[in-house]
Structure 1
């Protein structure tokens, strides 16, 4: 069976959102090059097309779950767009259609206008924690948050969930990190480390795990670490969208998320 899952990377999605003008802006493109999230609301809510806007940290786990869903629902096409949660909120404010929305924290939905979120119900479906990522082998000998005051450090932007969490963790540890760059989402933050452009980055534990041997992780002490809760919402009346959310919040979804390093919501 040919896989119909269509994705847009976090970098592509973040770049695309900067080009939003008026309503109908988008960050997801399909295999033929047409604008997926920029199609009409009717298309986004069509019976066998699901448009999903999800936080960058969910890239690997949601891609796996979407592939599984498509295999079990012949003819259904899931169009994925991964970006920083603040970029997703900006897309929705700009009129971009969606059937499912998943954020990296519970703060971002609260910043959205009431006319955008009215009638939407958010369900907490996973938790995440922070970890320090270093280039493979940890050449800067980073051992804890205090080390970040002495090495070139990259953080997510302060408006991004991972940036807010990193700021809280550094405050808890009373550390003033030597920050050389602020990035728009967790994947681009991690990329600065895996490429060797930075000595350390504060990212999510799940992203360190997904990077495999490209980076070396350093644990953050529990007293300084920050746990974030991830919420999801069905954004349209698409029946397949509702089923996809049920998959994510159900036993299979919890297993895939757990395998990726996410915790269960309390």
Structure 2
């Protein structure tokens, strides 16, 4: 059993919808209660909507979401943070949880994601591919190697043969994207979904090497979940047609 230690996590509470409940796992029937979901930062927009949809489908349920880098979330789970579900942006960070014995069942892949180069709207540096990121005066942000977006960036760069020295290494994809939005860098390697969600501020430039670094997103209910029924129901709902449609609209690829 995971040690009961206090872990400070940032959570965003979503309002419960109605009262009562169902018992059909495919529709997410939980019988009510709070479902706490630890999810990769790149899932912020999609899981916020999916959480609300889950609540609507399960009156009396409340979804609480904690978004961060997958490596940080895996560490929180293994240190005893009270959570029902873990959704990672890469299998490696999920393996950290399963090998510690903290998963209830086998993780399943529910989506895939791919990198783009995020640049300011208008692409003032005329970036068309990875090689352009090495030009003098082009400042680039990528994620740190231990988080999925960083590992994917390193794989893509290695595949291209481009030797890139970023000016900053961020702890999650939202941090890298923020550097572009704030004008602190000229480009960042981020997920296609994050660039799409921030399309008012950035443009996503596709590059062929990203096909060599597609990330699988696994999800699992946790062994010591405070709400085991809710955990299983949320995992089932994420795999359902309505949730998959939300993910596809955001730019995720089907598993």
TM over 0.5: yes
Residue 247 of structure 1 corresponds to which residue in structure 2? 237
Q: Which has the higher contact order (CA 8 A, sep 6+)?
A: 2
Moved more, 125-134 or 214-223: 214-223
Q: Residues 163, 239 of structure 1: CA spacing in aligned structure 2 closer, same or farther, 3 A cutoff?
A: same
Q: Does 1:181 align with 2:168?
A: yes
1:119 to partner: Cα distance: 4.2
Post-superposition offset of 1:118 = 5.2
Q: CA deviation at 1:210?
A: 0.6
Does structure 2 conserve the Cα–Cα contact (< 8 Å) formed by 1:47 and 1:239? Answer: no
Residue of structure 1 in register with 2:190 after alignment: 203
Q: Answer yes or no: is the 8 Å Cα contact 1:28–1:79 preserved in 2.
A: no
The secondary structure found in structure 2 opposite 1:140 is coil
- Unaligned runs of at least 5 residues, structure 1: 1-21, 32-44
1:209-266 CA distances to partner (integer Å, 9 max, x unpaired)?
010121011111157641110000011362122222111111111111000000011x
Residue in structure 2 matching 1:232, options 210, 219, 230:
219
How well do the aligned residues superpose, as a CA RMSD in angstroms? 2.1
Confirm whether residue 193 of structure 1 aligns to residue 173 of structure 2: no
In structure 2, relative to structure 1, the CA distance for the partners of 1:239 and 1:113 (3 Å cut) is closer
**2: CA distance, partners of 1:181 / 1:162:** 14
Counterpart contact for 2:116–2:210, Cα < 8 Å:
no
Structure 2: 5+ residue stretches without partners: 14-29
Paired residues of 1:136 and 1:194 also in contact (CA < 8 A):
no
User: CA 1:117 to 1:240, structure 2 compared with 1: closer, same or farther past 3 Å?
Assistant: closer
SS of the residue aligned with 1:74?
Answer: coil
Change (3 A) 1:245 1:113: closer
Contact kept in structure 2, 1:25 and 1:94, CA below 8 Å: yes
Figure out how many residues of one structure are paired with residues of the other and give that number: 232
Contact 2:78–2:102 under 8 Å retained in 1: no
Q: Does 1:25 align with 2:1?
A: no
> 2:31, 2:154 → 1: CA distance?
41
- Describe the shift of the 1:223–1:167 C-alpha distance in structure 2 as closer, same or farther (beyond 3 A): closer
CA distance in 2, matches of 1:250, 1:156: 31
Q: Which residue in 2 is equivalent to 1:129?
A: 114
CA distance in 2, matches of 1:59, 1:159: 19
TM-score by length of 1: 0.82
State yes or no: 1:104 paired with 2:89.
Answer: yes
Report the TM-score when normalising by structure 2: 0.85
Distance 1:118 1:154 in 2: 33
